[in-house]
Amino acid sequence: MSRGWHNWDPRYLKLAYLALGVGAVAYPFLANTYWIDVANFFGIYVLLGLSLNIIVGYVGLFNLGQAAFYAVGAYSTAILNTAFHIPVLWLLPLSGLLAALMGYLISRPILHLRGDYLCIVTIGFGEIMRITLNNNPFGLTGGPNGIMGIARPEILGFRLFQPHHYYYFIWLIVLLTVIALKRLENSRIGRAWHYIREDELAAAAMGIDVNRMKLLAFMLGAGLAGVAGNIYATKMTVIAPESFSFWESVVMFTIVVLGGPGSIPGVVVGTLCMVVLPELFREFAKARMLVFGLAMILMMIFRPEGLWPARRYREEIRSAKEELPAGQKPETLSGA
Amino acid sequence: MQEFLQQVVNGLTIGSIYALVALGYTMVYGILKLINFAHGELFMIGSFLAFTLIVSANLMEHIPHPVAGLVAVFLLVALMVAVIGLILERVAYRPLRRSSRLAPLVSALGASIFLQNAIMLVYGGGYLVFPENLVPNIEWSVGGINIGLMRVIILALSISLMLFLYLLVQKTRLGAAMRACSLDHDTARLMGINVDRIIALVFVIGPALGAIAGIMVGMYYRQINFTMGWAYGLRAFTAAILGGIGNIPGAMVGGLLLGILETIGAGYVAAAWKDVVAFIILILILILRPTGLLGERVAEKV
């Protein structure tokens, strides 16, 4: 349902999709290695943004510890690959599953907490994860230096190692994820999530098992972040705890909120702002975080629904913010 | 036993700093139901401003008596940070008072990022070192426990500030107005309380206390860095939760307790895991007793 473009002519829409698709396929032939690499990180962060979007956007659970799941994916890939030489591509689903398991274990006891408390607890879990990785328990995580020598993925004997190999690999996964999430949004589960975000009590009264749905969101979100972790680990071949710090969680959270919670195009736009835009302003590298902080405040004041909001969410935010004139239905407000 | 008591004393010192910072979180939460993520940065700015006054502006040289010099530094920095706190409330939080809960949270994160990077741009990313002899290096030994002068100052100053705040909130008309606002803004307004002014007051007192804590950290550990606000802020927040958020005596008890637990944890378990202690306490408290030791209910009412 996330169509900020819902009143466009469908023919133009198809054309826009086509142009976007052609552009995406042609991109590696036009860009240099550096910019292909930027596009690769763009893809990884879109995946991470989408993963957090399930938790923060669809269900409205504040999670500022998403980097923990990202870390579980990356480290399980790194450890299992370097110690047991399991091919990393097989580890792609496995690291997703392990991260989902972690999501289950972490969220299970804390789901009953109110919004900002949940947020604080997830920060706590994220920090515990980072410190644990740093402290090298049982010699598994390699301490502050991390783990080196992670293998590259091989598809039918073809080894991915060039940036443009990764480009197609990453964006293929992004595409598959987007298709899956699109379908999920309108499924029974997606609608249940939406009701929970709107009004938890009413959702429960309608017979939705609120806790189970929240758990499911956490597990799916964590699992997807784990998959992103696997891709990151094989792309870098070296991982260290500093790549999974609180800051990463903030970036993911900001991607979701900036783009528009619950909106898939919003995640892409948000990632563009958080990951790609800074690359364009490298000269101002030092001041850019200053600008971001300010932008976050201004966004919340002037456009709290995000840059490319999901229609569901915009209605909710706007109608909470503006007093509706008597007799006016919310649709007329947001339909413009 | 002696070593244990020494750890307790060390823990109380750092704990009283956590408690001072925690007061800022708990007061803002009590009145606005907002976690002021930028509060840790205000604490950090306090120690940087003190560094500027002491080292760059050489303020201590211009004031005849060293004690008077230190008092001047504390007062000036508290004042400046209180002004920053006021501006923060005005710019980042007041426009969002009627919006959804997500918006102020994000705004607070944004403010935190902004302030942290502003300090990094001005002072650089490295560590700054406070001068050595701000406080004479005197140490007493009481029953085998060593207590330095700086520790005594930290404990005395923070405990008297906490007492002062407690009396202000419990015994004065202003305090009654603050308590009324924390219960219900609209009713408080009907009773003739200027809610905006009370909120502004909270954003003066909290940051000022945080700034004083920041100066003391600078003088005690002597090294400051632009990221320290985050580390101390999160611990102070844990302290506030531990005591029961929104509850002023709770923040004090929580701070002291957290300081002691952390120091003992570091001393007897392993120093590398010291930072985990605070988070584990935070999570356990929120899971097992979300009201904190002395606090209100925080679990979702469903």
DSSP string, B70-136: HHHHHHHHHHHHHHHHHHHIIIIIGGGTTS-SHHHHHHHHHHHHHHHHHHHHHH-SS-EE--GGGS-
Asked whether residue A2 is domain-assigned, the answer is no
Tens-digit pLDDT profile for residues A254-281: 899 888 888 999 999 999 988 888 777 7
Query: Is B244 strand, coil or helix?
Result: coil
Per the domain annotation, does B297 fall within a domain? no
Neighbours of A189 (CB within 10 A): 16
Q: Are A116 and B35 within 8 A, CB to CB?
A: yes
At A119-140, the pLDDT tens digits run 888 988 998 999 999 988 888 8
Mean pLDDT in chain A? 85
Mean pLDDT (whole number) for B41-53: 95
Smallest Cβ distance to B299: which of A114, A253, A290?
A114
Average pLDDT over residues A109-114: 82
Q: Is residue A4 a part of any domain in this protein?
A: no
Residue at A237: amino acid letter: T
Q: Is residue A267 part of a domain?
A: yes
**pLDDT score of A317:** 57
B242 vs chain A: nearest CA distance in angstroms? 12
CA A258/CA A273 separation, integer angstroms: 8
Expressed as residue numbers, the domain containing A43 is 10-334
Contact residues, A window 261-300, toward B, CB-based 8 Å cutoff = 261, 286-287, 289-290, 292-297, 299-300
Distance CA B249, CA B166 (A): 7
| In a domain? residue B227 | yes
pLDDT at B102: 78
Residue of B100, B117, B286 with shortest CB distance to A110? B286
**Is the confidence at residue A325, as pLDDT, over 70?**
no
Of A60, A110, A257, the CB nearest to B106: A257
Decide if B65 is inside a domain: yes
What pLDDT does B225 receive? Answer: 92
- Asked if A116 reaches chain B (Cβ–Cβ under 8 Å), the answer is yes
Residue B301 lies in a domain: no
Q: Give the per-residue pLDDT at A5.
A: 53
Question: Does the structure show a pLDDT above 90 at B302?
Answer: no
CA distance B277 to B261: 8
| Shortest distance, CA A304 to any CA of chain B (angstroms) | 7
**Do the domain assignments include residue A172?**
yes
What's residue B32's pLDDT? 87
Closest CA to B261 of B7, B19, B2: B7
| Full 3-state SS string of chain A | CCCCCCCCCHHHHHHHHHHHHHHHHHHHHHCCHHHHHHHHHHHHHHHHHHHHHHHHHHCCCCCCCHHHHHHHHHHHHHHHHHHHCCCHHHHHHHHHHHHHHHHHHHHHHHCCECHHHHHHHHHHHHHHHHHHHHHCHHHCCCHHHCECCCCCCEECCEECCCHHHHHHHHHHHHHHHHHHHHHHHCCHHHHHHHHHHHCHHHHHHCCCCHHHHHHHHHHHHHHHHHHHHHHHHHHHCCECHHHHCHHHHHHHHHHHHHHCCCCHHHHHHHHHHHHHHHHHCHHHHHHHHHHHHHHHHHHHHHCCCCCCCCHHHHHHHHHHHCCCCCCCCHHHHHCC
Of A115 and B193, the one with more pLDDT: B193
What is the arithmetic mean of pLDDT over B84-110?
89
* pLDDT bucket at A26, cuts 50 / 70 / 90: confident
| Three-class DSSP category at B223 | strand
Residue A165 CB contacts under 8 Å (≥ 6 apart), including other chains: none
Q: What does the pLDDT read at residue A327?
A: 41
3-state DSSP call for residue B183? helix
**Chain-chain contact of B300 with A286 (C-beta, under 8 angstroms):** no
Determine the Cα angle at B293 with ends B292 and B297, to 5°: 40
**Residue B145 backbone dihedrals phi, psi, to 5 degrees:** -100, 125
CA distance A238 to A134: 15
Residue B301 pLDDT exceeds 60: no
* B293 in any annotated domain: no
Structural domain contains residue A84:
yes
In this structure, the number of other CB atoms found within 10 A of the CB of residue A175 comes to: 13
Say how many domains are in chain B: 1
Substitution target from A110, A119, A300, A316 for chain B, most B beta carbons within 10 A: A300
Domain enclosing residue B217, as ranges: 2-288
Q: Which CATH number does the domain housing residue B226 bear? A: 1.10.3470
Q: What is the pLDDT of residues B104-136, one digit of tens each?
A: 888 998 999 899 999 999 998 889 999 887 888
Question: Between the CA atoms of A35, A40, A43 and A49, what dihedral angle is there, to the nearest 10 degrees?
Answer: -100
Least confident of A157-161, B121-125, B215-219: A157-161
Task: Flag if B111 and A297 touch (Cβ within 8 Å).
Answer: yes
Neighbours of A272 (CB within 10 A): 17
- Using pLDDT thresholds of 50, 70 and 90, give the confidence band for residue A318: low
- Which of B91, B105, B300 minimises the CB distance to A114? B300
In the prediction, which pLDDT does B214 show?
95
pLDDT over 70 (residue A332):
no
Selected for mutation to probe chain A from B87, B102, B226 (highest A CB count within 10 Å) is B102
Residue B242: pLDDT band by 50, 70, 90 thresholds?
confident
* pLDDT of A224 higher than 50: yes
Higher pLDDT, A68 or A299: A68
Of B291, B266, B288, B290, the C-alpha closest to B277 is: B266
pLDDT for the residue numbered B234: 87
Find chain B residues with C-beta within 8 A of A300's C-beta: 96, 99, 103-104, 106-107, 110
Q: How far is CA B18 from CA A280, B255, B256, in A?
A: 40, 5, 7
Run of H or E residues at B141: strand B139-142
Give the mean model confidence (pLDDT) for residues B206-216.
96
- Count of domains in chain A? 1
pLDDT at A50: 96
Q: Is the dihedral of CA B152, B158, B159, B160 positive or negative?
A: positive
Q: Which residues between 71 and 90 in chain A have a beta carbon less than 8 angstroms from any beta carbon of chain B?
A: none
Which residues lie closer than 8 Å to A273 by C-beta, 6 or more apart?
A255, A258, A259, A307
Mean residue pLDDT of chain B comes to: 88
A322 and chain B: CB distance < 8 Å anywhere?
no
Is A5 domain-assigned? no
Q: How far is residue A156 from each of residues A87, A152, A153, A165, A174, measured CA to CA in Å?
A: 12, 13, 10, 14, 21
Residue A3 lies inside a defined structural domain of this protein: no
Which one is predicted more confidently, A113 or B299? A113
In this structure, are residues A204 and A50 in contact, taking their beta carbons and an 8 Å threshold? no
| Per-residue confidence (pLDDT) for residue B56, from 0 to 100 | 85
Q: Report residue B154's pLDDT band, with 50, 70 and 90 as the boundaries.
A: very high
CA dihedral A268, A270, A274, A279 (to 10 degrees): 50
Residue A29 inside a domain? The answer is: yes
Average pLDDT over residues A234-255: 90
Range of weakest confidence among A210-214, A260-264, B290-294? B290-294
